Amino acid sequence: MKNKMRIFILLLTLAIIIMPSGCSKKNKEITKVSYRLKWLFNTSVAGDIYADVNGFFAGEGLDVEVKEGGPERDAIKELEMGHAHFGVASADQVIRAVSKGAPIVVIAQLFQINPLQWIYRSNETKINNVEDLKGKIIGITFGGNDETIMRALLSKYSISEDKLNFFSVRYDYTPFYERRVALWPVYRNAEGVIIGDKLDTAKEPVSFFDPNNYGIHFVANSVITTQNMIKQHPETVKIFITALIKAWNEALNPANSDKTVEAIHKVDKDTPLDIIRRQLDITRQLMKPTDKTVFGSIDVNAWKETERIMIEQKLISAPVNIEKRLRKEF
């Protein structure tokens, strides 16, 4: 009896020691997180800036460091290295990373329509259908997703690449301004507005060629995190994404335009207010194309199409079943 009592007390003591620590490990949430954007602070990250400036994260008890992205930044690598908890990456980056075993998960899709389009002078170049691209000099960034999109488009419409000319695109737009290139890739909601403005001032009307109108649904930027983060800190992930989506919805609400433009201008002082305003209007159309669109919703079919295009162009060697990495509910 004495022995049984001793064993019982011993087990009870062990249970008291182990249980709280076990429970706390499972439920321990973090309040200080880092969020790496894909690009520099501009209108494309309006909601992220809005959330930060207007205390959406702080209101939920989260201390979020919103970090600017850039050409040399890769949020996926930072997530894996533990330098960031959340990030923004393009779909092709995500699919490529998943194909190489990166443990990442998509938790919200920012753009419902890819902002990558081609600008051209509408009084000199007539494009009413894909066939009209034949014989034109088209700017593409070799290795970039504009190359993937353009090749997918040409393949879809069975246009041989020798029917047109590609021009290697860099940071400066001189070849386009000098008319050496007829179509130049731009992000419709960012440089698209700025270059369009410049040419407009020079009395050169512009139009945009949008592959989305011709059935190429190539997903653009999305918010990502790691599988481990979702497993270890599900509540933090839920709070973060809920606050972020709420902020984006407010930022894109036309009634809050002034507030959003002001928030963006605080961190993007080089862009005039009226340009930011027009960029925001276009961003809204790309992120919430209809009133019914739920901001952040993940278009699984578009993701599958993006994966199919990448397989077709041998950018990944085998299917990755990307739909398994799309987390639609929390």
Partner 1 sequence: MFHKRLYQFVFIYILGIGFLFLIKKVLNLSDYVIPSPVEIYETGRKVFLRYIPDVLNTLSVAIIGHVLSIFMATIIGIISRLSNWIGSFIKTAAFNIQAYPIVAVAPIIFILLGDGLSSRLLIAAMICYFPLLLSFIGILSEPVVDIEHFYVHSGKMRWQLEVKIRAFENMNKLVTVISGSATLAMVGTIVSEFIGASSGIGYSIRIALYQSDLAKILIALFLIGIFTSLYLAFLEWLGRIVVRKWEHNS
Q: Which residues contact partner 1 by CB under 8 A?
A: 74, 76-77, 80-82, 93, 96-97, 100-103, 141-144, 168, 170-172, 174, 315
Return the CA Rg of the chain.
Answer: 24
Q: Which residue, 44 or 148, is less far from partner 1 as judged by CB?
A: 148
Q: Which residue, 47 or 185, is less far from partner 1 as judged by CB?
A: 185
d(C-alpha 303, C-alpha 143), whole Å? 20
Beta carbon of residue 261, minimum distance to partner 1 (angstroms, whole number): 29
Residue 104 near residue 227, CB atoms below 8 Å:
yes
Q: Are strands 206-209 and 116-121 parallel, antiparallel or unpaired?
A: antiparallel
Residue type, 160: S
Q: Which two tokens stand for residue 24?
A: 């706390």
Q: What is the largest CA-CA distance in the chain?
A: 99
Q: What is the DSSP string of 89-109?
A: EEHHHHHHHHHTT--EEEEEE
Q: Which residue, 8 or 142, is less far from partner 1 as judged by CB?
A: 142
Q: Which two tokens stand for residue 293?
A: 């669109």
Q: Which two tokens stand for residue 28?
A: 């321990």
Cα 156 to chain centroid distance, Å, stands at: 24
Beta strands across the sheet bearing 116-121:
184-187, 116-121, 206-209
Beta carbon of residue 72, minimum distance to partner 1 (angstroms, whole number): 8
Beta carbon of residue 162, minimum distance to partner 1 (angstroms, whole number): 19
Beta carbon of residue 104, minimum distance to partner 1 (angstroms, whole number): 9
Q: Which residue, 157 or 166, is less far from partner 1 as judged by CB?
A: 166
Beta carbon of residue 182, minimum distance to partner 1 (angstroms, whole number): 18
Beta carbon of residue 166, minimum distance to partner 1 (angstroms, whole number): 11
Give the residue among 330, 329, 324 at the shortest CA–CA distance from 98: 324
Residue type, 302: A
- For residue 183, CA distances in Å to 123, 145, 167 come to 13, 16, 9
Q: Which residue, 99 or 260, is less far from partner 1 as judged by CB?
A: 99
Q: Which residue, 103 or 234, is less far from partner 1 as judged by CB?
A: 103
Beta carbon of residue 317, minimum distance to partner 1 (angstroms, whole number): 10
Residue type, 266: K
Q: Which residue, 52 or 78, is less far from partner 1 as judged by CB?
A: 78
Length of the chain in terms of residues written: 330
d(C-alpha 137, C-alpha 146), whole Å? 14
Q: Which residue, 127 or 195, is less far from partner 1 as judged by CB?
A: 195
Beta carbon of residue 75, minimum distance to partner 1 (angstroms, whole number): 11
